[in-house]
Amino acid sequence: MQADFPIFGPRRSLAAHIRDAVMFAACYIALDWASYIYPLGPFNITPWNPPPALSIVWMMLGGLAYAPIVFGTIFIADVIIRDAPGGLLITALTSLVQAGGYAAIAGTLRYFLKSDSRLSDTRQVWIFVAVTAIGTAIVGALYVGVLWANDLFVGKLFSAAVFRFWLGDAVGVLITAPLLLLAADNVARERLLNSWRRPETVLQFAVMVAAMFFVFEGAGGDPSKYFYLLFLPLIWIALRGGFIGAAVASGVVQVGVVLGAHGGPMHSLALVELQALVAALSLTGLFLGVMVDERERATEGLKASLRLAAAGEMAGAIAHEINQPLAALSNYGRACQLFLERGEGKIPYAELNATIEKMLGESKRAAEVVGRLRDFFRTGTTRLEQVTVESLLERARRIGKKLDPSGDVNFRVETDAGASILLADRLQIELVLRNLIANAFEAIANLPAGEKDVTVSAHQLAGGRILFRIADTGPGLSPSARKLLFEPFSSTKPMGMGLGLAISQAIAEAHGGSLNAALTKHGEFDLVLPGLAADE
């Protein structure tokens, strides 16, 4: 067990224990009174029993040291609400069974969930459901077994009582416990409160309430006949609100069932069937909601990975970019040394001052380049500036020469839009061109000499847009490779990470443009970026 989540809970003052005990007892008795509907047999076993959820969550969060208080509260509630039909001794025995069983469930959940009680993934939800279902079944069998051993239940009523007790406890815990755990978590509670500021959330629950009204009042007759309609708003809420939304929606449905049962006569078997449907609805919502949350976390993790990968790719481009000011600084520094070596009276101060000004300018340029990398690491932001198409194509020429120093490839750069201007992050667009040109060179690497052609061209399109086309004479893409071309971590290269094209497409779209692979027999990628109007 983790040291910060001891099985008997953290040490607290006596005043805190008394305060918590009084609050727990009041809430438990109030819940027991509110859920006291359609009791079965002389011991008033109800089809919905949320108080065990309060007991389990309290001991999960506070520790098993609260078990004696749970026992006393259950005993008092049975005396006040059910009039202790078997006498005080039998009531004490059944209260002991319940308190011990709920403590065992809470301890098991504490052990498996460790210090995380938020039910944040499918594994934790499965553990919660399995422990709840098995634990409440054992508690129900022991509870009714105590009554049967004392001749307080006839044989034919035994199985029905066990089933009703198990269903009432299981449904009550499965629906109420997640809500209590969410209420105890500061982050989840804040998310829940913020969600109600969105009009969509209000609309979702309005639809849910309207559907419940139709099921219980508008349709007439048996509510279970139209209960499936409640799945529609629940799925909507779970898909948009995740586990938190699904848990709240399940609670709303349960409250609707209770109010509907209180509102008019209902056969006990029909209510049991309705509770079974509520259990199915709740489990569907909880699992769907937690899977939505897991997918969102995976998406955020992927975005962070892509940002780091893009930063790594940009680091290569920036390293190339910063070499120029560093080389200039070195040359200017050497020039200053030569000026100083002339000796006093022979130093050309005007030239020395001009050289120092150039050094300051180059150092500022280097600092700006490094600042861009820092900003991208922190926030992923871009820094837009006016960039001519010709300057980007000049960079493409340098990239091509660096990739093919021997000149084996027929590398061409063509344009009819050299004077056009883009509003873009120059380093990021150069990174995209670098990726595409490098891919083109790799595509033709195995071709015989004389057939290796790579062309980079720029054309003006309608609406001021600029098309950069990188074409090669390689074999092109297979249909299967084309489907996953821009998917992260999908690569046809033996040592590739599969991030270059995904990052390039993300950069293009962030600039309001697009990146696509043309459907040709050879390799061809089209990068389209919005141009800057002449009057801007």
SS (H, E, C) 117-184: CCCCCHHHHHHHHHHHHHHHHHHHHHHHHHHHHCCCCCHHHHHHHHHHHHHHHHHHHHHHHHHHHHHH
pLDDT value of residue 505: 83
pLDDT value of residue 39: 63
User: In this predicted model, which residue has the larger pLDDT, 467 or 338?
Assistant: 467
pLDDT value of residue 192: 82
pLDDT value of residue 5: 46
Residues 353, 487, single domain; the answer is no
When mean pLDDT is compared across 223-232, 284-293, 317-326, the lowest value belongs to: 317-326
CATH value at residue 48: 1.10.1760.20
User: In this predicted model, which residue has the larger pLDDT, 329 or 313?
Assistant: 329
pLDDT value of residue 95: 92
Q: How many domains does the chain have?
A: 3
pLDDT in tens, 104-119: 999 999 888 875 567 8
Q: What is the secondary structure of 500-517 as a DSSP string?
A: HHHHHHHHHHHTT-EEEE
Alpha-carbon gap, residue 197 to 191, rounded angstroms: 10
Q: How many CB atoms lie within 10 A of CB 48?
A: 25
**Average pLDDT rounded to a whole number, residues 396-420:** 83
Domain hosting 464: range is: 385-529
Band of residue 4 on the pLDDT scale cut at 50, 70, 90 = very low
Helix axes 268-341, 231-263, angle to 10 degrees: 140
Residues 372, 413, single domain; the answer is no
Band of residue 451 on the pLDDT scale cut at 50, 70, 90 = confident
Is residue 119 a contact partner of residue 181, using CB atoms and an 8 Å limit? yes
Residues 417, 360, single domain; the answer is no
Alpha-carbon gap, residue 63 to 103, rounded angstroms: 9
Residues 463, 362, single domain; the answer is no
Is 43 a residue whose pLDDT tops 70? no
When mean pLDDT is compared across 33-42, 90-99, 203-212, 507-516, the lowest value belongs to: 33-42
Residue 294 lies in a domain: no
Band of residue 456 on the pLDDT scale cut at 50, 70, 90 = very high
Residues 25, 174, single domain; the answer is yes
**Average pLDDT rounded to a whole number, residues 151-172:** 79
Is 149 a residue whose pLDDT tops 70? yes
Is 318 a residue whose pLDDT tops 70? no
Is 6 a residue whose pLDDT tops 70? no
Residue 391 lies in a domain: yes
Which of 117, 150, 178 is the C-terminal boundary of a domain? 178
pLDDT value of residue 12: 61
pLDDT value of residue 494: 46
Residues 5, 72, single domain; the answer is yes
pLDDT value of residue 116: 59
Band of residue 431 on the pLDDT scale cut at 50, 70, 90 = confident
pLDDT value of residue 198: 87
pLDDT value of residue 190: 84
Is 96 a residue whose pLDDT tops 90? yes
Q: Which residues pair with 40 in a beta bridge?
A: 45
pLDDT in tens, 487-523: 655 555 544 445 677 778 878 888 889 998 887 888 8
Residue 48 lies in a domain: yes
**Average pLDDT rounded to a whole number, residues 115-130:** 83
pLDDT value of residue 341: 77
- Chain centre to alpha carbon of residue 352: 58
pLDDT in tens, 201-250: 899 889 988 988 888 776 666 777 788 888 899 999 999 888 888 888 88
Residues 59, 155, single domain; the answer is yes
SS (H, E, C) 345-390: CCCCHHHHHHHHHHHHHHHHHHHHHHHHHHHHHHHCCCCCEEEEHH
CATH value at residue 394: 3.30.565.10
pLDDT in tens, 169-203: 898 899 889 988 888 888 888 888 888 888 988 99
Residues 164, 308, single domain; the answer is no
Is 3 a residue whose pLDDT tops 50? no
Q: How many CB atoms lie within 10 A of CB 347?
A: 14
Residue 26 lies in a domain: yes
Residue 277 lies in a domain: no
Residues 147, 49, single domain; the answer is yes
When mean pLDDT is compared across 72-86, 170-184, 314-328, 425-439, the lowest value belongs to: 314-328
Residues 449, 514, single domain; the answer is yes
Residue 193 lies in a domain: no
Is residue 236 a contact partner of residue 286, using CB atoms and an 8 Å limit? no
When mean pLDDT is compared across 317-331, 342-356, 428-442, the lowest value belongs to: 317-331
CATH value at residue 325: 1.10.287
**Average pLDDT rounded to a whole number, residues 45-64:** 84
Residues 74, 171, single domain; the answer is yes
**Average pLDDT rounded to a whole number, residues 398-417:** 84
Q: What is the secondary structure of 471-499 as a DSSP string?
A: EE-S----HHHHHTTTSTT--SSTT--S-
Residues 350, 315, single domain; the answer is yes
Is residue 515 a contact partner of residue 525, using CB atoms and an 8 Å limit? yes
Which of 334, 362, 379 is the C-terminal boundary of a domain? 379
